[in-house]
Structure 1
Amino acid sequence: MSGLVVVGVDGSASGMAAVEAAAREAGWRGADLRLVHAFIWPAMHVQLGPSPLGPPEGGLRNMVERLLTEAEERARSLAPEVDISRAVVPGEPLTVLQAQSRAADLVVVGSRGMGSFVGLMVGSTAVHLAAHGRCPVLVVREEGEVTGPIVVGVDGSSAGAGAIAFAFTEAALRGVDIVALHAWTTWNAPMPAPQDEAVPYANEPEALAAQEGRLLSEALAGYQETYPGVSVKHEVVHGGTREALIEASRKAQLLVVGARGRGGFAGLLLGSVSQAMLHHAHCPVAVVRSPDNSR
């Protein structure tokens, strides 16, 4: 395989966790790794070089170089075979990384950066990229590497198909299993056709559950033939989607969701379920936009 993995570097603990995850991803994919720092200070018209009264290694520009050097050393220790490049791009992180996503196969960011407000679970850069990035976005916290299967949320929508494909690719690269989870309630499940036309709202018991099980099987059809080495567990949950995915993430090494799914409002680039996962999941979260909206 080949391609490009981009990771945002900002010097935070969350950002370094993102560097480690990006290095592993690049190694698994046989891809290049680009370390990107959004250098906002030139726009502030402040001195970038060392102060005449300070040490020659001081100054904002030297600080950025040290951040990138540390990040590159960490990445090389985890994936020595990966071709690593560095880029210092003037601008603020949101627009810089969004532009980088146009050429990338995956963008990796920390859940919170140096500019995040205390108390926020996920910073604005991560949420913005999940909504506007032109490729899948992996959001990593600094708790360290976790084990377990890959959990993918399946809702049967065309917008969610990209998340399923991404999950199978990741599972094959990592050599792990998939838990394909579909949650439903009587409020979000389409009613099956009535068994008796004379009683249009009557259905056999468990008719909705059976229909939702078929929806999950149909959404996964073909993937196991393409990825015969990936074992998949079908899990149909009668309950809220957010709660079910958050609970499943406790034992997962990665949670994959679509940017928007069934029931999403037109015009919204990031659905409520995706946002909830970014804030509350217990493992790294990959948000995948549908092919029609990603490039």
Structure 2
Amino acid sequence: MELPVVVGVDGSKGSLQAVDWAAAEAERSNRALRIVHASLWEHYEGIRPEISADRPSEQVFAENLVATAQKRATHLAPGIEVSTEVRAEEAVSALLEEGTEAALLVLGPRGHGPIAAMLLGSVSLAVAARARCPVVVTRGEPLHRPTGGRVVLGIGSTTGSTAAARFAFEQARSRGCELVAVRAWSFPPSENMPYPLVGGDQAGMYRQQAEETADRVLGVIAGDYPEVAVERKLVAGTAHQMLLEEAAGAELLVVGAKRRHAAIGLQLGRVNHAMLHHAPCPVAVVPEPSGSAHPGHQETT
């Protein structure tokens, strides 16, 4: 049985954008869509709706919310199977549990309370950091294109795993678009010194290491997706700057995240944090299995 696409909703504009993205993804991937609202979401975000005589109960409010999201999804993608669930528990815990039986989780970038003033809502950040399945945070404005487009993959140092790369290839194939694989490289701070590296060209050596990393990741997978056009970019500079530039106008940015320990969850490095807070397009955070880090390589995602 195919795992569903799960989208978390809270009634905010951002969660409606997440519903749109999730419905399109379910249609492309021929999966069912599951719409989930955790009834304590408002409490987690630090607000509680005002209760008045003419206001429906919290349960009715939640049921109306998911029904509205379901109607929106079926209007956008009439052929998909859509189910809804209202869970009487805290949002992060509910969504993390949903993620154990999901192909991916889709969330909006903000809540609808005081937290909305922040760059990324607390629920989305916590779920992206700890989920066992890929998490997509629907940043940026929706793109409307008949053809073309691209998916951007950030290649970090988790060279023992290809989970993020495979997810990116799948996304590019389902969308019929190009995959741009970006590997940024730079001098380690300790070697930015006013004297040359003994035995050769510093820039050439670090560029070669970046090229070898990209080859390891792409070489394992590219042959499984002959229909996907791949552009490989080796760029000198910081990873977060290069990825933000490449993400402009992209349909999706894909990054991997290392799993360190079950109690800790995913280690969202500084690059992933930057993408989740500032990327101009939706961001997919794909968990990499434990032990995938390549010894001797500095983390970039």
TM range, smaller chain: 0.7 to 0.9
SS in 2 for 1:23: helix
Supply the AA of the counterpart residue of 2:19. V
Deviations along 1:93-119, one digit per CA (max 9) or x if unpaired, are 111101110111100000101235243
Please, what TM-score do these two structures have when normalized by structure 1? 0.84
Q: Which residue of 1 aligns with 2:11?
A: 11
Aligned-pair distance for 1:43?
9.0
C-alpha distance in 2, partners of 1:96/1:255?
A: 25
Equivalent residue for 1:125? 123
Match of 1:22 in 2: 22
Residue 158 of structure 2: aligned partner: 157
AA matched with 1:39 = S
1:235 to 217, 233, 236: 233
Secondary structure at the aligned position of 1:157 is classed as coil
Alignment correspondent of 1:140: 138
Deviation at 1:42, TM superposition (A): 11
Higher mean alpha-carbon deviation, 230-239 vs 112-121, is at: 112-121
* Equivalence for 2:182: 181
Following TM superposition, by how much is the alpha carbon of 1:124 offset from its aligned partner in structure 2, in angstroms?
0.9
For residues 214 and 176 of structure 2, the distance between their equivalents in structure 1, rounded to whole angstroms, comes to 23
Show CA shifts across 1:56-85 (max 9, x none).
xx2322222221121011100121111111
Q: Under a length normalisation based on structure 2, what TM-score does the superposition of the two structures give?
A: 0.83
Number of residue pairs matched by the alignment: 276
Gaps of 5+ in 1: 191-198
Question: Is the aligned partner of 1:201 residue 2:198?
Answer: yes
Q: 1:168 — aligned with what?
A: 169
Kindly state the Cα deviation for residue 210 of structure 1 after the two structures are TM-superposed. 2.9
CA distance in 1, matches of 2:277, 2:257: 14
Opposite residue 8 of structure 2, the aligned amino acid is G
In structure 2, give the amino acid aligned to 1:202.
G
| 1:111 paired residue among 99, 109, 112 | 109
Offset of residue 138 of structure 1:
0.3
Give the secondary-structure state (helix, strand or coil) at the position aligned to 1:288: strand
- SS of the residue corresponding to residue 87 of structure 1 reads strand
Q: Secondary structure at the match of 2:248?
A: helix
Deviation at 1:268, TM superposition (A): 6.2
Please state whether the residue corresponding to 1:287 is helix, strand or coil.
strand
Q: CA RMSD in A?
A: 3.1
Larger Rg: 1
Counterpart AA for 1:152? L
**Mapped contact 2:258–2:290 kept (Cα < 8 A):** no
Where 2:255 maps in the other structure, the secondary structure is strand
